[in-house]
Amino acid sequence: MKVWVPCDAAAVACGADEVAAAIASAAGLRGEEVEIIRNGTRGMIWLEPLVEVERDGVRHGFGPMTPEDVPALFEAGDHPKALGPVEDIPFFAKQTRLTFARCGRTDPLSLADYEAGEGWRGLRRALDLGAEKTVEEVTTSGLRGRGGAGFPTGIKWKTVAGAEDAQKYIVCNADEGDSGSFADRMLMEGDPFCLIEGMAIAGLAVGATKGFIYIRSEYPHAIRTMVAAINAAQSAGIIGDSLMGQGPAFDLEVRVGAGAYICGEETSLLNSLEGKRGMVRAKPPLPALEGAFGKPTVVNNVLSLAAVPWIMTHGGAAYAEFGLGRSRGTIPIQIAGNVKQGGLFETAFGMTLGTLINEIGGGTASGRPFKAVQVGGPLGAYHGPDDFDLRVCYEAFADQGGLVGHAGFVVHDESADMLALARYAMEFCAIESCGKCTPCRIGAVRGMETLDRVAAGDREAIELLHELCEVMEKGSLCAMGGFTPYPVRSAIRLFPQEFSRIEEAAE
């Protein structure tokens, strides 16, 4: 009997370790041999702990499981938590899994499992093609940064490749601090070799011999998994003094952040990586020319780098066949908040917002009418039911005054207080600002004060708030202050009555 129980942090938080222990205990009492594999999560978080049992070569799911549900797994008859074949569950079956193709299917630290699932094929092809053609392949794919800015990955790589310096670096931004975002963590915990392979290909492409994975301290499971995976890859001769024993040197190291949201911004991250205070650097110089330790540096998000092995295995043109407009490939969408079916859903760019919320997410968990969804983290814009025809891609969201960002979608029902949520955006910025520039450092505090005036019934404060948002957007040194107006403005635009209700009630 072969059984899979996720070791992902979300599954563990839901009791996966206890369920795994209960399965081992029940098997021992019955004298049955059971192989328990701790896999990554499939991303259907509302079903965690999701236990899978192989029957006639097909993995059947059971969930959400508790230790009390375990004995029935060993008994004849239908199990009350039976879900049928896991990959036939509609939420999973409707996905286009490229980046997350292995996640949930394999033992995250098994090199054999990874290689059996197309692992290292992309790196081998890159070694055969050479640096220049590898950059061309990534450029052809249309891959853009999945961390928020959406900058074309191929252009960034070409810039670093063309920089003349004996030492270059690849830095993976795994400081996933956005609310409602968990794809980076899920990938690192469920398929860490994919990230290692992507970084190795990047190093080969631009001439970098050293890579750093900067992970937030709040991700202890991901840190442990990535360290173990790097050690395994080094021991197998995949990375280190030579890539797979035939290519140039490339080695990796994990660096742990200290918990600052601003360190998700690439120049703050680089300062922190170097042991300095996490503060934004002015540009130019660009990190591609003068980044980590003053050397040319590629800074990419986990998902950007993890997409590269598939691109190099199947070709940039094949990846570019997915998507819409200039948003090519797939996007791992993270559905969270007040939603029935929260989890990770990887699909090609172009799905409508309404389909995502109502069909894939199943509507609100509370059963109350949907009100708004915040897209792109705590500094992302709100979108209401009138935006249900909006397609998930960079250009469409930008045209609506929003951003896809890291593709975290946080759902709210009709009970949400939009004035309070707008104030929270300013408060979040005030707390998390690095303090280097005045529009962000002072503007966020003034924003809180102005929204308090609005809440007290001062209608004139609305105009002042709009002026303040303009100053923050245009005058801030980075996106921290520049994007804070997005949730504020969108909340006012969508729900103007909530920003005058107190005054009207007084009248």
Predicted confidence (pLDDT) per residue in 447-476, tens digit = 999 999 999 999 889 999 999 999 999 999
Q: What is the pLDDT of residues 407-439, one digit of tens each?
A: 999 999 999 999 999 999 999 999 999 999 999
The pLDDT tens digits of the residues spanning 357-393 come to 999 999 999 999 999 999 999 999 999 999 999 999 9
Burial tier of 179 (Cβ tally within 10 Å: 0-12, 13-18, 19+): middle
Whether pLDDT at 209 is above 80: yes
Q: Residue range 496-501: average pLDDT?
A: 87
Identify the structural domains of the chain with CATH numbers, from first to last: 2-93 (3.40.30), 111-320 (3.40.50.11540), 326-413 (3.10.20.600), 418-506 (1.20.1440.230)
Find out whether 185 and 9 touch, Cβ atoms under 8 Å.
yes
According to the model, what pLDDT value does residue 502 have?
52
The predicted pLDDT at position 149 comes to: 75
Give 126's pLDDT tier (boundaries 50, 70, 90): very high
Strands 169-174 and 297-301, by their bridges, are parallel
Looking at residue 505, its pLDDT comes to 45
CA 410 to chain centre: 13
Determine contact, residues 98/319, Cβ cutoff 8 Å.
yes
- The single-letter code of the amino acid at 247 is G
What SS3 string covers 203-223? HHHHCCCEEEEEECCCCHHHH
Coil, strand or helix at 56: coil
Asked if the model's pLDDT at residue 404 lies above 60, the reply is yes
Q: What is the mean pLDDT of residues 34-57?
A: 97
The pLDDT of residue 501: 63
Spatial separation of the C-alpha atoms in residues 307 and 320, rounded to whole Å:
12
User: Does the pLDDT of residue 503 top 80, yes or no?
Assistant: no
CB 24 within 8 A of CB 33: no
- pLDDT tens digits for range 264-297: 999 999 999 999 999 999 999 999 999 999 999 9
Q: Is 439 exposed, middle or buried (0-12, 13-18, 19+ CB in 10 A)?
A: buried
Rounded-to-integer distance, Cα 340 and Cα 41, Å: 18
pLDDT exceeding 90 applies to what percent of the chain? Answer: 95
Res. 259 pLDDT band, cuts 50 70 90: confident
Cα separation, 174 vs 214, in Å, equals 5
Mean pLDDT of the chain: 96
Mean pLDDT over 102-110 rounds to 98
Structure confidence at residue 148 (pLDDT): 74
Query: How far is 446 from 460, CA to CA, in rounded Å?
Result: 15
Categorize the per-residue pLDDT at 506 as very low, low, confident or very high, splitting at 50, 70 and 90.
very low
Res. 335: pLDDT tops 80: yes
